Amino acid sequence: MSTQLNLILLGPPGAGKGTQAARLVEDFNLPWVSTGDMLRAAVTEGSELGIKAKEYMDAGNLVPDDLIVALIVERIGEPDCSDGFLLDGYPRTIPQADALEQALRGLDRSVAATLLVELDDEEVVRRLSGRRMCVKGGHGYHLEFDPPKHEGICDQDGSRLIQRDDDVPEVIRRRLAVYHEQTEPLAAYYEDRGMLKRFDGSRTQTEVHDHIRAALATLRLEDSV
Ligand code: AP5
């Protein structure tokens, strides 16, 4: 098996997966594979997948496994993923994890590490209620923790900031319930395989990033000996 950085970012909604992914893909020059972003792009395009997915996403439910698995198996087989990738938001169920393991085995590859960013429910609600994204580049902000310099405007590309449709209180609560029921069991799944690394998502963005980088540096050292 190869020792590529085939990485998974796991954690509840709002734990900071996207925030950390943006930094890690720069650090390690990896393609960022976010199922949430892929699905939102499909919704915007109005593709068949987008039309099917929208109803589930708006309600805070998971899009059915068959739709997601096909999307990811195809994506990780693309040339830019051949030296490693960062999965953000996948897998979210045990069948999705099994499908990933099987697809990677077929390519003589395996998951290098699953990075679990942990955060309690109360903090999730606070984070997601204050989150804003820019319409152009998808750059993320938080009204309290990471505000833009000018209200409602992206610092990086000057476009308008909006709130995601699923960042409203009742949908946030549903997303959390779905996480606990269907996604949290993946922590034990990867722990049993010796692939899980836990991080305290309540620390600052920079602290979480430093901790993940340190863990990945250790992993690479272990792989090289
Ligand atoms: P997705 O887009 O993946 O949403 P999510 O997992 O709910 O995660 P979020 O993007 O909401 O949060 P995040 O952890 O990335 O946090 P962020 O960094 O933005 O999925 C959306 C939907 O798509 C799902 O509900 C489902 O319907 C569908 N879907 C996607 N993948 C699927 C799959 N595999 N199977 C089936 N369905 C699927 O941070 C949040 C806020 O906090 C930001 O404002 C940020 O600035 C701030 N922040 C971040 N870190 C810190 C920190 N350390 N301190 C203070 N503030 C911080």
Quote the pLDDT of residue 3: 62
Contact 34, 71 (CB under 8 A): no
Q: Specify the residue for token string 């050292």.
A: 221
Query: pLDDT grade, residue 1 (50/70/90)?
Result: very low
What digits encode the pLDDT tens for the residues 74-95?
Answer: 999 999 999 999 999 999 999 9
Closest CA to 133 of 59, 24, 44, 30: 44
Mutation test residue for ligand 1: of 145, 156, 167, the one with most atoms within 8 Å of CB: 145
* CB of 197 shorter than 6 A to ligand 1: no
Catalytic site residue from 109, 131, 132, 197 = 131
Q: Specify the residue for token string 């606070």.
A: 126
Look up the pTM and report it.
0.93
* CB of 63 shorter than 6 A to ligand 1: yes
Catalytic site residue from 92, 127, 132, 197 = 92
Quote the pLDDT of residue 223: 74
What digits encode the pLDDT tens for the residues 101-114?
Answer: 999 999 999 999 99
% of the chain exceeding 90 in pLDDT: 92
Instruction: Please give the domain boundaries of the chain with CATH numbers for all domains.
Output: 5-31+78-224 (3.40.50.300)
Secondary structure letter of residue 63 according to DSSP: P
Residue nearest (by alpha carbon) to ligand 1 atom 29: 36
Q: Please tell me whether residue 151 adopts helix, strand or coil conformation.
A: coil
Quote the pLDDT of residue 83: 93
Secondary structure letter of residue 79 according to DSSP: G
Contact 91, 8 (CB under 8 A): yes
Concerning whether 92 is annotated as a catalytic residue, the answer is yes
What digits encode the pLDDT tens for the residues 28-79?
Answer: 999 999 999 999 999 999 999 999 999 999 999 999 999 999 999 999 999 9
Say how many Å lie between the CA of residue 130 and the centre of ligand 1: 13
Q: Please tell me whether residue 207 adopts helix, strand or coil conformation.
A: helix
The tokens of 12 are what?
Answer: 């509840």
Quote the pLDDT of residue 225: 58
How much is the mean pLDDT over the chain? 94
